[in-house]
Structure 1
Amino acid sequence: MKLEEVINTVKDFFTEHVYPVYRITSIVTEEKAWEVEVEVIEEKEYMKKYGRDQLLGVYQARVNEDMDVVSFHRKSLRYRAERIEESEGR
């Protein structure tokens, strides 16, 4: 599998089921799968309407060897301008 395929799979999945991907922050190859960490902008219109900073959701997704997203979960939620803690990300 090519890295580009993994990226496209995750972007397509998140656009359809969650929110469009803002940024992919890491991709780690594991045995027969990939762990992908992505950031998405959540509630963009609501936050813009009330003059607040955008919220970023940090998600972890697993892509199997058949190029299917088999699981995902939100790891954290933070304001876009907020500093990233050392434990966040890879």
Structure 2
Amino acid sequence: MAIKKIIEAVQHFFCEVLGKPGKIIGVSPGEDCWKVQIEVPEEVEYMRRRAKGDLMAIYDVLVDHCYEVISFERVALMERGSLIIYPVEPNKEEEKA
């Protein structure tokens, strides 16, 4: 049942706090927290600036044992329906913006 609560916590966080509903694609336990991956549609403005079609972002999310999201980071982008994943390089993305 812990995994169900973890999934609900992450989905709630992304919907309510970030306004990005998503689909959980992975959950794994760690020593101090849970690692969750969620796939969410990327913002329309972001897509428009880069002349891209529908983009999906993959986020790594850490959740503590009290079911609180303690960190999240976008790690990849991919076009909807594509098998090609584009890793996000922290410094490179800031340079492009």
TM range (shorter): 0.7 to 0.9
Give, as a single letter, the amino acid of the residue that structure 1 aligns with 2:40: V
Give runs of aligned pairs for residues 4-83 of structure 1, distance below 5 A.
4-18=4-18, 19-21=20-22, 23-43=23-43, 53-83=53-83
Structure 1 residue 33, shift from structure 2 partner: 1.0
Structure 1 runs (4+) greater than 4 angstroms displaced: 44-47
CA distance in 2, matches of 1:70, 1:46: 25
TM-score (norm 2): 0.72
Structure 2: how far apart are the matches of 1:30 and 1:64? 10
Runs (5+) with no aligned partner, structure 2: 88-97
Taking the aligned partners of 1:26 and 1:46, their CA distance within structure 2 comes to: 25
Q: Which has the higher contact order (CA 8 A, sep 6+)?
A: 1
**Root-mean-square deviation (Å):** 2.3
Deviation at 1:24, TM superposition (A): 1.0
Alignment deviations for residues 30-79 of structure 1 (CA, whole Å, 9 cap, x no partner): 013100000001235986xxxx6311010000000111100000001121
Q: TM-score, normalised by structure 1?
A: 0.77
Give 1:76's aligned amino acid.
A
Q: Taking every aligned residue pair, what percent have the same amino acid on both sides?
A: 35
Q: 1:46 to 1:34 in 2, by over 3 A?
A: closer
Number of positions where the alignment pairs a residue of Structure 1 with one of Structure 2: 81
Does the Cα contact within 8 Å between 1:53 and 1:81 map onto a contact in 2?
no
